[in-house]
Structure 1
Amino acid sequence: MEKVMKRSEVPTEHQWKLQDLFTDQKAWDNAYNEVQRLIKTAADFQGKLTNAESIKQCFDLEDEVGLHTERLFVYAHMHHDEDTANPTYQALTQKAKKLSVEVGEALSFTTPEILALSEGELDKLIADPTLADYRFTLTEMKREKAHILSKAEEALLAQVGNMSSAPQTIFGMLNNADMKFPKIKDENGKEVELTHGSYIQFLENPNREVREAAFKAVYETYGKQKNTISATLSANVNKNIFYSRVRKYPSVLEMSLYGDNIPKEVYTNLIDTIHESLPLLHRYMNLRKKLLGVDELHMYDLFAPLVEEYKMDITYDQAKQTIKDGLHPLGEDYLKNLQDGYDNGWIDVYENENKRTGAYSWGAYGTHPYVLLNHKDNLNSMFTLAHEMGHALHSFYSDTNLKYRDAQYTIFLAEVASTTNEALLMDYLLKKSTDPKEKMYLLTYYADQFRTTVFRQTMFAEFEKIVHERAESGESLTPQDLSDIYYDLNVKYHGKNMTVDKEIGMEWARIPHFYNSFYVYKYATGFSAATSFSKQILEEGQPAVDRYLGFLKSGGSDFSINILKKAGVDMSSPEPIREAMSVFENVISQMEELTK
């Protein structure tokens, strides 16, 4: 494995163009000063938000400040993510964070002041044509009324903002900058570097000893930090409980779902529907064991290639073209915008020293979206690119069709667009494949997508639910408690025929999403909705494409459940999840057929 590049060694064509946000540091500083100036004018509206005209002017100011702040924040953070050890951008990120808190404080009076109005007055404002651009905002405010505090309390909570992000920040620094893994031996007995970026690659190594060594080295390293990481996770859970109680929610779970207006049943229904489908995962584990030809299937065997002779090396350029071919059913307009993203500095492609791990799509309204990757030349990275470009184009369509406020779609919807891309790409690859080995490889990959995106994320979601419920009822969360809960869930999900290694009990410690609580279930619901969308697009053609593009253009202009319903997917029922499970069953059956 090659040595990881320094940021300064990355070729320009593989870097995102952050200068599209700000041409240079001076431009950033000017925007920063402009926000400082604008937030001073916010006080002019205090005590005057009683009529449509003043509310409109205040909202206009909020939008202007919000746009600038978002851009400042995104620019600083994305530079920081390129190289988390760079002190200049560590400082800039802190400055942007502090500014966001100041903005929150300066404008914290708006919501409580508007909500001090009577129901009748609120209804009048919602119907007032002066406020047409802000109708959904006002409707949302009315819904939030039960959880908004007095002006003084809201101002106090805004000041706590900086402290509340501490658990996530500390975990991020420990995980990305400070934690170093030991070297391990590769299949040739050569010492190689183990990093966040290379870990999954080692787990995909055909050599079982390499997989086991990487697996044990990673969890032993986390094990040494278990007390610190358990303290950061507990602090995060306690922070959530603080907010849920102060804002009068029945639980952290309900508080987390309230923002997206998602009924609690969507969450519990996901866990229950997956529980009823666990025999399918167990069937897949048995098939995996048979295909690997092992007496015992271990946790480090879950990513091992099942088709030994088939290796798909896909360069970044090949990945881009294949994705474009696979997304052909979405039509010319979608493909043109996808190509724009490829060509115009949206994407930061390869891993470099101290770069943030994983992948994401982000950006600020008014400029194109951005995508961070840590690309390797394999199938997984091609799907990651398809996934992140799904997010990016969702943002692009929302931003170009809606005003700033309505363009911000919920995270509940975010995973749908990204996963629809993956489902269409997989369908294309399977239809194109004539080689049984390649077909088996792709089916394995698809089966693993179900395993990791639906089953694994639901297991994470269940872990979060258990951990929060325990803390809410006053029980302790020692490192041992966390590991026991996590280990038992692994046993339940993977079935009796799986050897669940004790080390997996430490896996909770390396999941950054646990600091963004009750988020991961959206991967599973998103995957199910996407399976449903892709099926409709492939079976119905243009009418389904039109509904789907309508979904992409809807941003956050209505409640998430309604936006999906309008486009033809009803997440308030177990049907989309069951539909996804029937696709999974079909994949397993095809694999079983090929192994006869």
Structure 2
Amino acid sequence: MTNTKQRPLRSEVPEEQKWDLRAIFQSRDEWEKELTAIQGDTSTVTKFKGKLDENAKTLLDCLEAKEQLLQRLNLVTMYANLRQAMDNTDATRQKDSQRASQTDASVKASLAFVEAETISLPEETLDRFMEEEKELQSFRKYLRDLQARKPYTLTEETEETLAALGSLFNAPYTIYNRGKLSDMEFEPFADEEGNEVPLSFGAYASNFSTSPSKTVRRNAYKAFNKGLERYKHTFAATYATQVNHEVTTARLRGYDSATDMLLQGQRVTDEMYHNQLDVIQQELAPHMRKYAELKRRVLGLETMTFADLKAPLDPDFEIEMDFEEAADTVEKALDIMGADYSDMIKTAIAEGWVDYADNVGKSTGASCSSPYGAHPYVMMTWPGTMRGAFTLAHELGHGGHFYFAEKNQRMTNARPSRYFIEAPSTMNEMLLGNYLLSNTDDKRKRRWLILQLLGTYYHNFVTHLLEGEYQRRIYATAEKGEPLTASVFSEVTQQVLKDFWGDAVEIDEGAGLVWMHQPHYYMGLYPYTYSAGLTVSTIASKAIFDEGQPAVERWLDVLKTGGTLDPLELIKKAGIDMSEPKPIRRAVAHVGSLIDELAESYD
């Protein structure tokens, strides 16, 4: 019988399931004081306005003062956002998050002159300044990136105005999340016994879409899409605002397209971007169609519908696991990364870095936030099964990445391109999967573990990759000046899905609403980077399994490098060249081999 237990309020959640935000601020009152103090401390930076061309020491002092202020600002905004993520229904937390966002925009507007004046400096002047002040060389990558933006920079007054409007430009993302997490309601659906089951966005994504019951999956899917239908025009207007803002900004700045502008921010070439989308879709589709057909046959389905894609292939086999057991398993699996990495993982578990409760108003999904000057924070909802161990390992991969980057780099240099962001997280999933597979001789458990790894590839190489293809088509539509409406978004989504799945999966109108599922569309060209990261971790993890310590040291060195290199050069440190499609093809072939082994186990 389906579990209909209501989710608790945040105040009812046991303390051991919550994270401890005191590493950022001891209390909300302390946060409030710092919020006010930051607004009054912008003069520590603005006093340098109009003076950055005077000498190297002035430029260095200004950049360091700006970095220090932004570090404090990051802690203030992160604290407010993390508190809201735990309960989006709490009015005080909503207000605090808005206040932090407004302060963020205001402070950054007052600091916009720094980049404008620095960009205007001749390259030879910057070279001379870095020779005169050796400490300036720690800002070399940042300064070079600014120079690359020179052709696309507007006047100082315009840049300050745009920075001041930052919270308004972020409004589509805020509106989407507020609508999804606070306002959106769904009608209950009937399970196989006729019981009414309450439905929420989070419950559908984490429970009902993966139910072993065909009735539950399909009824929940219909009810979920019926709910989405009621909001699609509002959400479409919100997303259209996001896209049109990016297209307009790109034109004003002189870029050929919004895609070019967004890729420059990631320091990724057009070739790297299109390779990722094209190669995976073309070469993975046959493997995934085979996988879909295998599921249809094994589950005894007459038709494989979109609602069935996440159905468990072995529904009677599940490994129940509480959080403590999963944490212990993850710790053992990641021992291969060495003492420093293992100590970080143990500390994260023991000292409240992870919030795994399920309560009313909590943001859906899983994420990791890494405020510079504190430590990483992982948010997830514990599912009660071993699958949660993979999620935990994934998010701690993000945490470990920034933990080591921030220990070895100043804040300005800590974060690499988004293109690389998902590599450390999926690396941990690969390590966990290999550890579990190497410690079992049970055929059925091995098959289940292969399914978990295929879940990782499905998430990154299918779900997010197809979101990336959807984005590519939507930006192309917007660049032509064509209107962006709910029907356009749904039609493009359906066509992307049909192109990939062919006749193996029935793509209905409800599948066309997938564009409403994720906030990633509001974060630039984010979705495709999931597949880039998993490509890298697939190849790098194989090197660790084959070579051992030398490959581990290369990987840890990459993590510590932070954002001091462009992604292509950063990944080359791990022995992988992403300027060509070969690594992508190797990763896709690996997925094919997993599917082949899975299919053989059912013959």
TM-score by length of 2: 0.96
Question: Pick from 176, 187, 190: which aligns with 1:185?
Answer: 190
Query: Offset at 1:130?
Result: 4.0
Q: Secondary structure at the match of 1:364?
A: coil
Q: Is 1:117 matched up with 2:121? A: yes
Report the counterpart of residue 61 of structure 1 in structure 2: 65
Correspondence 1:167-316 to 2 at 5 A: 167-200=172-205, 201-277=207-283, 278-316=285-323
Structure 2: distance between partners of 1:500 and 1:449? 22
Query: Offset at 1:64?
Result: 1.3
Report the counterpart of residue 79 of structure 2 in structure 1: 75
Q: Is 1:492 matched up with 2:496? A: no
% same residue: 31
**Superposed CA offset, 1:115-158 (max 9, x none):** 22222212223444141222222122112211221111111111
Q: Is 1:93 matched up with 2:97? A: yes
Report the counterpart of residue 143 of structure 2 in structure 1: 138
Q: Secondary structure at the match of 1:295?
A: coil
Report the counterpart of residue 10 of structure 2 in structure 1: 7
Structure 2: distance between partners of 1:537 and 1:587? 19
- Asked if the contact 2:180/2:201 (under 8 Å) is kept, the reply is no
Question: Paired residues, what number?
Answer: 596
Q: Secondary structure at the match of 2:268?
A: coil
- Asked if the contact 1:551/1:563 (under 8 Å) is kept, the reply is yes
- Asked if the contact 1:394/1:553 (under 8 Å) is kept, the reply is yes
Structure 2: distance between partners of 1:231 and 1:197? 23
The one-letter code of the counterpart of 2:163 is A
**Superposed CA offset, 1:404-438 (max 9, x none):** 21112332221000000001111122222222222
- Asked if the contact 1:464/1:517 (under 8 Å) is kept, the reply is no
Q: Secondary structure at the match of 2:573?
A: helix
Structure 2: distance between partners of 1:13 and 1:175? 27
Question: Pick from 160, 164, 171: which aligns with 1:166?
Answer: 171
Report the counterpart of residue 419 of structure 2 in structure 1: 412
**Superposed CA offset, 1:52-72 (max 9, x none):** 111111111101110110000
Structure 1: distance between partners of 2:480 and 2:398? 37
- Asked if the contact 2:115/2:146 (under 8 Å) is kept, the reply is yes
**Superposed CA offset, 1:5-58 (max 9, x none):** 100011111111111111112321222232122213433211110111111111
Structure 2: distance between partners of 1:36 and 1:505? 45
**Unaligned regions of 5+ residues in structure 1, if any?**
none
Report the counterpart of residue 357 of structure 1 in structure 2: 364
Q: Secondary structure at the match of 1:45?
A: coil
Report the counterpart of residue 375 of structure 1 in structure 2: 382
Q: Secondary structure at the match of 1:508?
A: helix
Report the counterpart of residue 152 of structure 1 in structure 2: 157
Q: Is 1:399 matched up with 2:403? A: no
Structure 2: distance between partners of 1:425 and 1:414? 19
Query: Offset at 1:79?
Result: 0.5
Which portions of structure 1, spanning 4 or more consecutive aligned residues, are displaced by more than 6 angstroms? none
Structure 2: distance between partners of 1:408 and 1:308? 41
Query: Offset at 1:478?
Result: 2.0
**Superposed CA offset, 1:176-200 (max 9, x none):** 1000111122344322221222213
- Asked if the contact 1:122/1:142 (under 8 Å) is kept, the reply is no
- Asked if the contact 1:219/1:507 (under 8 Å) is kept, the reply is no
Correspondence 1:522-561 to 2 at 5 A: 522-561=529-568
Query: Offset at 1:114?
Result: 1.8
Question: Pick from 15, 30, 50: which aligns with 2:33?
Answer: 30
Q: Secondary structure at the match of 1:170?
A: helix
Query: Offset at 1:169?
Result: 1.0
- Asked if the contact 2:23/2:374 (under 8 Å) is kept, the reply is yes
* C-alpha RMSD over aligned residues: 1.4
Structure 2: distance between partners of 1:323 and 1:159? 44
Query: Offset at 1:523?
Result: 0.3
Report the counterpart of residue 24 of structure 2 in structure 1: 21
The one-letter code of the counterpart of 2:293 is N
Structure 2: distance between partners of 1:194 and 1:126? 59
Structure 1: distance between partners of 2:584 and 2:292? 20
Question: Pick from 466, 470, 483: which aligns with 2:477?
Answer: 470
The one-letter code of the counterpart of 2:65 is L
